[in-house]
Amino acid sequence: AKCLEALGINSVRDLQTFSPKILEKELGISVAQRIQKLSFGEDNSPVILSGPPQSFSEEDSFKKCSSEVEAKNKIEELLASLLNR
C-alpha cells in the first residue's frame, strides 16, 4: 500500500489507469501485472472452498406485487425456497 501511495495510486481507478511500464519497474513484472488485472476484476486463480456457507438468502424486487396479500404470498414462496435449500 505504501509503495502504491508513493506512486500516487490511491484508488482502484488510479491503478487501472497507471502506466504498466512504470508499475512493472517499481513492483516487478509479476506483481504489477497481477494487481492491474485484479483492479479490472480479472482473477484466474482457482476457487477454493473454505467450508460450509455462512449464510443463505433469497431475493425479489417485489415489482410484480401490488398489494399486501401478493407481497405476503411472495414472502411465503421465498421462505419455502430458502427452507428447501
The string of pLDDT tens digits covering residues 8-67 is 999 999 999 999 999 999 999 999 999 999 999 999 999 898 888 888 788 888 888 889
Report d(CA 54, CA 63) in Å as an integer: 28
- Contact assessment for residue 55 and residue 39, using Cβ atoms and an 8 Å cutoff: no
Instruction: Provide the pLDDT for residue 82.
Output: 85
Handedness of CA 30, 33, 36, 38 (dihedral sign): negative
Instruction: Provide the pLDDT for residue 3.
Output: 92
3-state secondary structure of 11: coil
In a domain, 64, yes or no: yes
User: 36 and 65 share a domain?
Assistant: no
Residues spanned by the domain of 62:
58-84
24 burial via Cβ count (<10 Å: 0-12, 13-18, 19+): middle
In a domain, 47, yes or no: no
pTM score, whole prediction: 0.57
| Residue that has been written with the C-alpha cell 424486487 in this structure | 61
User: 2 and 33 share a domain?
Assistant: yes
Number of domains, the chain: 2
